[in-house]
C-alpha cells in the first residue's frame, strides 16, 4: 500500500513507549503495534487526533504517501 505509517519513527523521536501512547490514546498496545506495522485498513480521525496531540506532531509526520513505481 502506498500509505506508509511512520509512527515508530515518531515514537523514537519523542522517546515515547508504545504502552504509554496506547494508554494516552485509549487503544490497545496490540492496535498500536498493528498501526506501526501498517497492518490496518484505516485510522479514525479521533485516534489520529489523540496521537498527534500526545506526540505533538502533524498527521503528515505519521502518515506518508509514497507513490508506487509501475
Q: Residues interacting with another protein, by CB under 8 A?
A: 27, 31-32, 34-35, 40-44, 47
- Largest alpha-carbon pair distance within the chain? 40
Contact in structure between 11 and 18 (CB atoms under 8 Å): yes
Give CA–CA dist 9/13, Å, rounded.
6
Q: Which is nearer to another protein, 6 or 70 (CB)?
A: 6
Q: Which is nearer to another protein, 37 or 64 (CB)?
A: 37
**Could you tell me which residues come within 8 angstroms of residue 70 by beta carbon, excluding any fewer than 6 positions away?**
none
Tell the smallest beta-carbon distance from residue 69 to another protein (Å): 26
Q: Which is nearer to another protein, 12 or 40 (CB)?
A: 40
Tell the smallest beta-carbon distance from residue 43 to another protein (Å): 6
Amino acid at each position: 500500500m502506498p500509505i506508509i505509517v511512520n509512527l515508530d519513527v515518531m515514537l523514537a523521536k519523542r522517546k515515547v513507549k508504545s504502552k504509554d501512547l496506547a494508554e494516552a490514546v485509549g487503544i490497545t498496545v496490540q492496535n498500536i503495534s498493528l498501526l506501526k506495522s501498517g497492518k490496518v485498513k484505516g485510522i479514525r480521525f479521533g485516534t489520529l487526533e489523540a496521537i498527534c496531540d500526545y506526540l505533538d506532531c502533524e498527521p503528515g509526520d505519521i502518515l506518508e504517501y509514497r507513490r508506487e513505481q509501475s
